[in-house]
Chain A
Amino acid sequence: MKKLELKSRRLLRTIFGCISFTAVAFVFQACYGTPQDMDFLDVRITGTVKSKTTDLPIEGIKVSIKDLPYDYGLTDTTGVFDFYAYLPNYVHRVNDSVVYKPDSLKIQFLDIDGIENGSFNDTTIYVPTYRKRIEIHVALEEK
């Protein structure tokens, strides 16, 4: 497609986007597919967990958000965790923009695998402000 034609067609597309009936035209669904994912309200939480005593990474720590039963990650052999969490109490939309509430987010670190990989005290930390990604590095005390 020639550049001028491409520009005109994109402009036409924008015009369609501005008139009301096309709100449904751009959000479509393949007939055997899922709805499109147009939400951007989940936050990626990454980081590492290590032992305060040995400075070595800890495997098998459950990292979760207080009061959210399903959003969590587990640390791997290198102590790394990486997961997405939907934080409806902390993130909301205002006039189509994502707003992060200046509230304190509680992230829990729980040793759920018993004595395997060592025994560590459960810890909660507070994240005062954040954007689309939270990165946390913590050291846990041994029991």
Chain B
Amino acid sequence: MTNLLHTIFRKNETKLHILNYLFWECTWRCNLKCHHCGSDCKSSSTHPDMPFEDFLNAIQPLKKEYPKNSITVAIMGGEPLLRSDLAECGKQLREHGFRWGIVTNGYAYDEAMHSKLISAGMGSITVSLDGLEENHNWLRNNPKSFERAVKALELIISYPRLNYDVVTCVHQKNIAELPDLKEFLISKNIKNWRIFTIAPIGRAAENQEMLLSNEQTRQLMSFIAASRQNDPRINLYFSCESYVGAYEKKVRDSYFFCRAGINIGSVLIDGAISACPNIDRSFAQGNIYNDNLLETWKNRFEIMRNRNWCKTGICKNCKDFKRCNGGAMHLWNERQDGIMACIAEKLKF
């Protein structure tokens, strides 16, 4: 019954396509060089940071269509903390009726930064922690990255206003230490922990030890499901990166629903208008330097709102297609000839 309700709900949301969530890829600069980076960022980027005025001008038309405070702007990069005007950008977003938060590796998040951002009205933050010290530092390719991320988390949890979570990318080297990592997070009073697997995109596509085997994927799902059922100390959940077959509802609060292009849009570093920033750039639907963001949102994005084209490759005859609708958009490339990875498929073996 709930499955049927969810299908009706998803169809309705798709038809209405109300924009609730807007990414802003404000920079490609980054202070780390992670092995798994989906953006393939560099310390000095070929793209200059997008001027805030350009982004602000682009989002003005949204104010006509959507109520004040109904859209959260998720600022990401690269590493958004490298922008010296980040707090000022955030403050202006609040002034214009947008909520905002950042996705960060936490490396540059110290007390001064914390104070600047919360005083500018930041309301949410996500920090990456990819294992205990050795593993995190290995993946993040920096010997200080764990210590810095943990310090950032200590500041964040001390401030109850912030909606936060810790995200962990699970790969072959850190899967065995998830129980220890969980105890570590609980000892730090972390309440929200989100887990990803690593998609074969960006740098991770060339690094096989990033990708979990079928057995490890099953082990991961069991770990999350057991923790959710038996351990109220921490809210652990699997990200919305994939439909997970029999584990649906056991590893997160709601059924899988890729909202890219349905409730989630983005403005990318070059002005491209798309959905989640990790989606293949060939799916961009316009550009803020040529197109009106609101009109583009309302009248384009058909490719994300009608996913019948995804019935190809392993999805072609999949009996679960009705439920997963072709999975997460970021797992499709411009050839549109088949999904790059399917966790539900992995769990069958």
Residues in A lying within 8 Å of B, measured CB to CB? 1, 5-6, 9-10, 12-13, 16, 19, 21-22, 24-25, 28-42, 44, 69-73, 82-86, 88
Most buried by B among A38, A41, A42, A70: A70
Main secondary structure on B side of the interface with A: mixed
Flag if B119 contacts A34 (CB, 8 Å): no
Q: How many residues of B contact A (CB 8 A)?
A: 60
Flag if B121 contacts A39 (CB, 8 Å): no
Flag if B9 contacts A32 (CB, 8 Å): no
CA of A12 to CA of B9, assembled, Å: 8
Flag if B196 contacts A28 (CB, 8 Å): no
- Per-residue CB proximity of B154-168 to A under 8 Å, as 1/0? 010001110111000
Flag if B12 contacts A16 (CB, 8 Å): yes
Residue numbers in A under 8 Å from B276 (CB-CB): 30-33
Give the contacts of B162-195 with A (CB-CB under 8 A).
163-165, 192, 194
Known: A30-B276, A31-B196, A70-B114. A36 touches B21 (CB 8 A): yes
Least distance between B88 CB and chain A CB atoms (Å): 10
Interface presence of B342 (CB below 8 A)? no
Flag if B16 contacts A34 (CB, 8 Å): no
Known: A41-B161, A70-B159. A34 touches B259 (CB 8 A): no
Interface presence of B28 (CB below 8 A)? no
How many A-B contacts are there with CB distance less than 8 Å?
142
- Residue contacts A-B, CB under 8 angstroms, 23 given: A12-B8, A13-B16, A29-B165, A30-B21, A30-B74, A32-B38, A32-B277, A33-B21, A33-B126, A34-B102, A34-B124, A34-B125, A34-B163, A34-B165, A35-B126, A39-B163, A40-B69, A42-B121, A42-B161, A70-B118, A70-B119, A84-B120, A85-B119
Residue numbers in A under 8 Å from B74 (CB-CB): 30, 33-34
Flag if A35 contacts B121 (CB, 8 Å): no
Residue numbers in A under 8 Å from B328 (CB-CB): 31
Least distance between B135 CB and chain A CB atoms (Å): 20
Flag if B259 contacts A28 (CB, 8 Å): yes
Task: Give the nearest-CB partner of A73 in chain B.
Answer: B119
Interface presence of B330 (CB below 8 A)? yes
CA of A73 to CA of B99, assembled, Å: 19
CA of A115 to CA of B34, assembled, Å: 45
